[in-house]
Amino acid sequence: MKKEIRFVSADEAVKVVKSGDHVHLSSVASAPKILIDALCRRGRNGELRNVRIHHLHTEGPAPYADPEFDGIFFHQGFFIGANVRKSVQSGFADYIPVFLSETQKLYRCGALPCNVAMIQVCPSDKHGYVSLGTSVDATLAAIECADTVIAVINRNVPRAWGQAMIPMDLIDIFVEGDTPLEPAKFTQPNETEIAIGRYCAELIDDGACLQMGIGAIPNAVLAQLSGHKDLGIHTEMFADGVLELVNKGVITGRNKVTDKGKLVSTFLMGSQEVYDFIDDNPMVAMMDVGYTNDPCIISKNPKMTAINSAVQIDLTGQVCADSIGTKFYSGVGGQIDFVFGSSLAPEGKAIIAMPSCTSKGESKIAPVIYEGGGIVTSRAHVHWIVTEFGAVNLYGKSMQERAKLLIQIAHPSHREALDEAAYRRFGPHYHNFSI
């Protein structure tokens, strides 16, 4: 039976939030802006204290993390986006380190309370179902566990299939608002990123199943794949670069074992074209992050190929991806979920791709990780490393062999210094053997 909808204003809806509550926000492009603004109005009026804000990551403004709300809201996200990075690094906001696959478990096992879930959904269909659209991730778990669920019915939210479809009975309070979803802003790949994309593409076999994020390097990789055949998608997110390959018949999902023929993701961020593409499209399955990022499920797809990035890699292959020294920059995310899952898959490949240098010209391949830097992918998990100077496979290689291989793909201006650092670390034998 279809639930009757009674709309209230955003200001009325957020009155259910009490001081000390934990509030979950739907993520990425689908952050419920009108509810966030209403909640901040209550904060400015002095009505709330110590409300904790959780989400995977949001695009657009994040006013609740501003210093003006110190003592009122405390952001504890599962990932650090650009909109909260300054606040996190200055201590006015914080970050919960967690594998992306387990963000949903935080709610379901009770490690993290959820008093109020604030979400966005598309209008109801004739069966009384709405869709979470571009943001399933940990939001589905938050809905299941929350004391109160507030939903913005938004005509701009696409009617995505998969576990994005939920019955209206799970929602307690309805608000109407047609705020456009936040679009992603991409830059064109530069020469370095194009070279990285070319080396990554050479590692991707016909029939492979892909995971990669968004940004210049993933777009550069996808741009090199138009000659491939029967690729599949099982990922935590995808963006515009995938659409062209679908339209060309390159991405078919024909060789997938799980969800054959479908593009599987847990959240999306792209242009309006991406949001239109997933609308009422049975080819796309938007799933719970506990499914998309489960290494056991990932490993079932043959030739599973994961491409992730890094802040820094040391000469033994340790991958720092969430911080620059003691400054938290992003998060654990799904990197290890997919590195581990891909390495277990038949003919699977786990790839870490990054420029050889920072924008300041510092080598991203370093003798040691900066003090305070966090190791996301361990030296035992790492396989392929790619820079604009080539690709090397560290799997099964000793420490000294790894150092020599990594120096081969470091920027030429830093190779001599890295070689000297490796000699000091490993001793005279280091220079007496070749790989």
Give catalytic residue positions: 236
- Contacting residues for 350 by C-beta, under 8 A, at least 6 apart: 306, 308, 338, 339, 340, 342, 343, 381, 382, 383, 384
Measured from the Cβ of residue 326, the count of other Cβ atoms closer than 10 Å reads 11
Query: Three-state SS for 431?
Result: helix
Nearest to 430, CA basis, from 369, 367, 351:
367
Tokens linked to 179: 């705020």
CB 351 within 8 A of CB 382: no
Angle between helices 240-247 and 216-223 (to 10 degrees): 10
Query: Three-state SS for 100?
Result: helix
Angle between helices 191-203 and 216-223 (to 10 degrees): 60
CB 259 within 8 A of CB 285: yes
Nearest to 12, CA basis, from 124, 174, 146, 142:
174
Quick one: CA dihedral 199, 101, 321, 272, positive or negative?
Answer: positive
In angstroms, how far is CA 144 from the centroid of its own chain?
A: 22
One-letter identity of residue 108: R
Give counts: helices (H), strands (E), the chain: 14, 27
Q: Determine how β-strand 319-320 pairs with β-strand 375-377.
A: antiparallel
Tell me the C-alpha to C-alpha distance, in Å, between residue 262 and each of 100, 219, 259, 290, 299: 21, 20, 6, 18, 16
Length of the chain: 435
Task: Tell me the chain's radius of gyration from C-alpha atoms.
Answer: 22
Nearest to 73, CA basis, from 122, 14, 27, 123:
14
Burial 60-94 (b: 16+ CB within 10 A, else e): bebbbbbeebeebbbbebbbbbebbbebbbeebbb
